[in-house]
Amino acid sequence: MADFNTVATQFTEYYYTTFDNNRSQLVPLYDSNESLLTFEGAQVQGAKAIMEKLETLPFTKVLHKISTLDAQPADPSGAILVLVTGQLLIDDGEHPQSFSQTFHLIPRDGSYYVRNDVFRLVYG
Amino acid sequence: MGSNGIQKRTGGGRPTRIDQDGDLDMDAPSKTGGRGARRGGGRSIDINSAPKGPAADRTGASGSGVTRSRGGRSRGGTRKGRPTDQSMIGIKVCGWKQSKGSAEECVRFLERKTNMKFRKTSKHGDTLVIYIPPARLQAVLDWDKAKFAGVNLRITADVITDLFNTTMAAATPQNSNTTATIGILEQVLEVRYKPETRLLDLSNLGEEPLLKANGFFELNSTTSKMFPALMAVADKKFASQQAKRDAVVSVSLANNSLSSISPVTTLSLTFPDIRNLTLEGNRIADMKSMEGWKNRFRFLEVLIMTGNPIVDLPDYRHEMIRRYPRLTLLDNTLVDRPKIEPVAGGPSQNPSTSVDAKGRPILPLPTKPDLTVDMNGWVMNFLAKYYVSYDNSKDVVIKYCYTAESKFSLSVNTSAPRVEAQQGERQFWDDYIPKSRNMKRLQDTSEIISRVAVGPSEIFELWNSLPAVKHDMSNIAAWCFDIFPVEVAPGVEGVFVCVHGEFEEENKKSGKVIKRSFDRTFMLHVTGPEAIKVVSDMLVIRSYSGLAGVKVESVPTVEPIPETPVPKYEPTPEEKQTKITQLAETAGLTEKAAEDALVHSDWDLENSWDRYVYCHVGFP
């Protein structure tokens, strides 16, 4: 299995590129039951509900600009914790929003899925 | 899953009861039961269950075209008989024709500005009509005269659904009219207001002669509409917010057989600053039934709920104290807030001004829209202790909270926006950069590997190489938390914690105190209130971004909530259905209309309903 840093880097790159280009393609990253999205303090569980939440966010165009990326092995089974901060440009708006996002990745069948995804816009 | 207060919908024309005590039966008895599945770190949520009951109607109604809404709904009709065209109102946009932009661009422009998606728009010559849920009326009207492609747009709603009148019509008994209703309700308020004690006594309304004599309780449907109407009239009674604040300090809603506060939700808008509230002797059975007043009544000091089944819930006191941060008396028992003790052996050589005589931070429990699925408050307690000790005696934190498996790393976000006061100021990141594990910047693999500190001694060493800092958790408004259970390893229960806050740093190089913001993610292994161990600990430090709140671009807030942005809330399908039913019931709307309003208010029930009441024109 690839080392956790490589996984984290590749994961975030894939995640944000996909999010910015076609959010609906994120669905394979989430488990249909176990994944839990905590978006601005509200929780939705399961890939379907998560995608519904992500796809109905009130903007059409979004661009994530990543400022920091850090990762740690989370448990002996190979889970990884990824903490990302950066800025969000919404619909070509002028004021980028700072965000902080933590992913909890769980290994499965030679790949990973997102068990927890905690997103917050942070002051700024 | 517990549902609440919606049974009367399915019951049809159940007659109003006055029970033996003369109490008015406002609402069907609520099914008791817990708050539903706990939202956990993965496994205990029943989210896939299909919505029950009236959902079928809803699907049937959707997809029909929307037309301009008009009042004049007939009373007493069955739900199915009600027209569906109440769901949307048309707003006229003019002026775009003279601009350089097209109608389509104008629509997109307004969507962006209002942060909405318009489901239907149409063009009639120079006029563009946008159909929106009434709840969003003001949000769009706020953009009147907005500059679009070189011209000022004119946005009008010349046919505004008179929601006030609708509310009144809904409450009006048969053989009467809305003017009479308003008059009677005004009289009720007059009689029930005690200026000497500044008390609005709305207790026992089932016994109120004025209401009884005028047939307010003859129809069940009318009964449940009386409260919203009374609230709307109360809102009109006082001219300004200040007048309301001055006139009413206490409200009694005792003995009204309420099984949910939803008929009276708007009380929290009309009188947001009241200090004393009694709901004694009602039928409120669960937290859900109080949901509409979450994050409201910030100044509430006394709350009486005795005689409601809810007081028997195990978490009841804890939850109420959490919801109403200033509560000093709950059900005539003094509120004993959990004391925040520093970690054993903890500080404080260096007490900051924000701690009390014993070195404890003065910590109001947070009422921000944080997510705190906490275990009896253990984690919040832990964090409070953690930060005091972290600032003053790191060795204690290491000893009590970190194990050989614990990991810590930090990153510096040098490009995060900062407050104006710090614009152009050098940020002095020098102490952090050599430790920063930001893989966006750091390429050297050996450095990437070595910059995760593992185990107490490595972590302690890394911390000690960082500048001294001070976290002030008493200024809780500056902090934000997401706390919920998680499986920290297969089969091992723990808690996921994301903290966003600020600290002050004694920067040696500049000789100044620098304020900074941070994001920190912990995974905690929790086996008891005093047995919490850090498994993972990741920190991001960035320039101080201030407390201006999230500047969501161009979204005017209809009702500003001072401290914090409102979180996006996504309920389960069952909760959605409950909300739809509640709103439909209270506002006298079709389910479709209620759903639309809720969708556009992010499923915030009171928001949807409040806006229905508030986005109206004045008295006829």
CA distances from B165 to B178, B239, B612, B614 (A): 7, 19, 11, 12
Q: Would you kindly state where each structural domain of chain B is located, as residue ranges? A: 89-156, 173-334, 370-543, 573-616
Token couple for B348: 């404080």
**Amino acid of residue B72:** G
B523–A42 C-beta distance less than 8 A: no
Among chain A residues, the shortest Cα distance to B477 is held by A123
Q: Which CATH class is domain B370-543?
A: alpha beta
Mean pLDDT of B509-533: 89
Residue B52 has pLDDT above 80, yes or no: no
SS3 state of residue B111:
helix
A contacts of B484 (beta carbons < 8 Å)? 36, 38, 43
Mean pLDDT of B160-164: 50
pTM over 0.90: no
Residue B361 gets which letter from DSSP?
B
Q: Which of A27, A35, A25, A26 is nearest to A104 (CA)?
A: A35
A interface mutation test: which of B48, B415, B515 has the most A CBs within 10 A? B415
What is the Cβ-side half-sphere exposure of residue B441, based on CA atoms within 13 angstroms? 15
Crossing angle of the two packed helices B455-464 and B394-401, in degrees rounded to 10:
160
Contact (CB, 8 A) for A112 and A6: no
Tell whether A64 lies on the interface with B, counting CB pairs under 8 A: no
B319-347 pLDDT, tens digit per residue, is 888 888 778 788 877 776 544 333 333 22
Mean pLDDT of B234-239: 76
Q: How far is A26 from chain B (nearest CA, A)?
A: 19
pLDDT band at A116 (very low <50, low <70, confident <90, very high): very high
B130-146 pLDDT, tens digit per residue, is 888 766 776 787 788 88
Q: How far is B113 from chain A (nearest CA, A)?
A: 10
B484–A38 C-beta distance less than 8 A: yes
Tell whether B609 lies on the interface with A, counting CB pairs under 8 A: no
A43–B417 C-beta distance less than 8 A: no
pLDDT band at A94 (very low <50, low <70, confident <90, very high): low
Q: Which of B101, B551, B544, B138 is nearest to A93 (CA)?
A: B551
Mean pLDDT of B13-22: 38
SS3 state of residue B483:
strand
Residues 6+ apart with CB under 8 A from A117: A30, A35, A36, A37, A38, A39, A50, A101, A102, A103, A104
CATH 1.25.40.390, applies to B89-156: no
| Cβ neighbourhood burial of B53 (10 Å; 0-12, 13-18, 19+) | middle
Residue B500 has pLDDT above 80, yes or no: yes
CATH 3.20.20.70, applies to B173-334: no
Residue A20 has pLDDT above 50, yes or no: yes
B interface mutation test: which of A7, A13, A59, A98 has the most B CBs within 10 A? A98
Residue B553 has pLDDT above 50, yes or no: no
Tell whether B523 lies on the interface with A, counting CB pairs under 8 A: yes
CATH number for region A4-122: 3.10.450.50
Mean pLDDT of B214-224: 63
A79–B538 C-beta distance less than 8 A: no
Percent of chain B with pLDDT over 90: 19
Residue B91 has pLDDT above 90, yes or no: no
Q: What is the ipTM of this complex?
A: 0.95
pLDDT band at B232 (very low <50, low <70, confident <90, very high): confident
pLDDT band at B241 (very low <50, low <70, confident <90, very high): low
Give residue B348's pLDDT. Answer: 30
pLDDT band at B262 (very low <50, low <70, confident <90, very high): confident
Q: Would you kindly state where each structural domain of chain A is located, as residue ranges? A: 4-122
Report d(CA B233, CA B227) in Å as an integer: 10
Give residue B219's pLDDT. Answer: 53
Cβ neighbours of A30 (radius 10 Å) = 23
Q: Which residue has the higher pLDDT, B461 or B144?
A: B461
Sign of CA dihedral B118, B119, B123, B127: negative
Q: Which of B111-120, B183-192, B566-575 has the lowest mean pLDDT?
A: B566-575
Q: Report A:75-114 residues touching B (Cβ under 8 A).
A: 75-77, 79, 81, 83, 85-87, 90-91, 93-98, 100, 102, 104
B contacts of A113 (beta carbons < 8 Å)? none
B448–A85 C-beta distance less than 8 A: no
A122–B480 C-beta distance less than 8 A: yes
Among chain B residues, the shortest Cα distance to A90 is held by B553
Give residue A84's pLDDT. Answer: 97
Residue B363 has pLDDT above 90, yes or no: no
A contacts of B412 (beta carbons < 8 Å)? 68
